[in-house]
Copies of this chain bind each other. A is one copy, B any other.
Amino acid sequence: MIVNDILAGHHARVLAHVEAVLPHADPARVHDPADDLGLMREAMIYAMQGGKGVRGALAFETARLLGVSGETALAVAAAAETFHAYSLVHDDLPAMDDDDLRRGRPTVHVKYGDALAILVGDALQALSFHFLASIDDPAVPPGNALVVLQRLAKVGGHLGMGGGQWMDLSAEGRPPVTVLAHVETVQRLKTGALIEWSATANALLSGAPPAPFETYAEAIGLAFQIQDDLLDVLGTEAEAGKAVGKDAGRGKATFVDLLGVEGARRRAQELVDEATGALEDFGQDAEILRELARFIVTRRS
């Protein structure tokens, strides 16, 4: 499928950039006989591998639409993907979701231990801000870069990803909240905020109106989570590359619980229509972003 190839191409660029930018310790200056810092660098790169790279692709494709330079697009894509990777590494920890498998491979803490996994997540978060603070583009006023940075910091705050993860974790063992607004809130904080950031950052950097991208991203963010819930119920571990059926086992309320399988599918499709419609003004140029929206509800992992 063509979207898969486009995603793979974008993600390969992000990975190459992370590897190129992530410094090796200078042995003359850093006295590390056991090369612990080299192992940490390796674990950071491991954490970035194997993903689909949806957030990076959103950054690249919106940049193309808006005429943002390739270097700036790469910085935004790398920031989005390192931020995403950091959150996955921490969410997989035994104290959190306790997942052993991610993207078909052992999770970072299974391979490198809990302590290094915590530190790798921390360093990846810092790295994502590093990418943004390093944007050096005559077409991007530094003040715009600060705004985009501030928004990413908000995504990482307690009313963003971390808060969503905490609401999700805290729900375990309680009677499931059967209010759709609640499930949507958790999703918006946990997944939607970073997707929205990835799709709007280039507009904010270049001074273009972010509204169509906000509408697009809000819709695909929600559709993404609905599809995740469907895959958790219907998918197989081999296809998903991670454990499935966990939500039911934990008594979490999901979109499938609230809407049923057919209702969830229908809602996801409505959201895709909304997303593709939001980019109408960009005509044929936005076709890859529209394909990406469709891909989100047809993907198997």
Given contacts A33-B182, A34-B174, A40 and B158 within 8 Å (CB-CB):
yes
Given contacts A31-B181, A150-B130, A96 and B122 within 8 Å (CB-CB):
no
Task: List B contacts of A146 (CB < 8 A).
Answer: 133-135, 142, 145-146
Task: Pick out which of these stretches binds chain B: A162-170, A214-222, A263-271, A285-293.
Answer: A162-170
Determine how many copies of this chain the complex contains.
2
Judge whether A34 and B170 touch: CB under 8 Å.
yes
Q: How far is the CA of A150 from the CA of B32 in the complex (A)?
A: 24
Q: A118 in the interface, Cβ–Cβ < 8 Å?
A: yes
User: Main SS of the interface on chain A?
Assistant: helix
Give the number of residues in A that approach B within 8 Å (Cβ atoms): 70
Judge whether B157 and A126 touch: CB under 8 Å.
yes
Q: A60 in the interface, Cβ–Cβ < 8 Å?
A: no
C-beta contact mask, A30-60 vs B, less than 8 Å → 1, else 0? 1111101101110010000000000000000
A-B contact pairs, 13 of them (CB 8 A): A23-B159, A31-B182, A32-B182, A90-B119, A96-B118, A115-B166, A119-B166, A120-B162, A122-B156, A123-B158, A126-B153, A130-B154, A145-B146
